[in-house]
Amino acid sequence: MALRLGDIAPDFTAETTAGTINFHEWLGNSWGMIFSHPADFTPVCTTELGRTAQLKDEFAKRGVKVIAVSVDPLDSHTEWVKDINETQNTTVDFPMIADKDRQVAELYDMIHPNASEKATVRSVFIIGPDKKIKLTLTYPASTGRNFTEILRVIDSLQLTANYQVATPADWTEGQDVIVVPAVSTEDAIKKFPKGVTIVKPYLRTTPQPNK
């Protein structure tokens, strides 16, 4: 069955380029991103994994552990990482799961048979410290993901988790945010000392609280 927001991210133990990993243990109390790619030694995947490696500090700053998955074997991942490092001018040091028996792909419904019988699509799952799924994204093999958008969503998710605010359309870091409907205007005024603008009783904005 498809995984939904709020579900516990399925646990597993798998071989990776960083040794055997038990997923929940490896996550610990961190946020996590597990993302799949169709196959090793393919062009779009090479740029995506390289981009993820280049953004290492951005993921670390947000306390997000990153792990990649495809149904290729470990020796293939290891060889391919050399190409990624060389061509994308980076160092991949996040683990890549060698999911040759499709254990993880099936747990996370990453194989969409009408797209490909064998390969994983480009799935992204962002997981909170409570191990619950906070975001899912599914892209076709031919479209490389926008990792700036993935970081933006993580920022939004973390603002909601920490401050009870939501983010408006096209929000980017530093712009005003929205007080969630569960917080009364009276409480919002106490909670957000930078001020609350009441555009409508249901649309209240405040400066980004952690800026």
| Active site residue ranges | 45
Residue whose CB is less far from ligand BEZ, 44 or 104: 44
Give the nearest distance from C-beta 189 to ligand BEZ in angstroms. 50
115, 125, 111: which is closest to 5 by C-alpha? 125
DSSP H or E stretch at residue 16: strand 13-16
CB of 161 to ligand BEZ, least distance (A): 32
Token couple for 146: 């926008």
If the CB atoms of residues 44 and 188 are measured against ligand BEZ, the closer one turns out to be 44
Nearer of residues 42 and 208 to ligand BEZ, judged by Cβ: 42
Place of tokens 């076709």: 140
Q: How far is the CB of 112 from ligand BEZ (least distance, A)?
A: 13
- Give dist(CA 127, CA 123) in Å, integer: 13
CA dist 144 and 14 (Å) reads 25
CA–CA gap between residue 187 and residue 122 (Å, rounded)? 41
**Which positions lie near ligand BEZ, rule CB under 6 A?**
38-39, 42-45, 141-142
Number of other residues whose CB lies within 10 A of the CB of residue 146: 13
CB of 16 or CB of 46, closer to ligand BEZ? 46
Of all residues in the chain, what percent are helix, strand and coil, respectively (each to 5)? 30, 25, 45
Least Cβ distance, residue 52 to ligand BEZ (angstroms) = 14
The structure tokens 């980017």 sit at 172
86: its two tokens: 């060389």
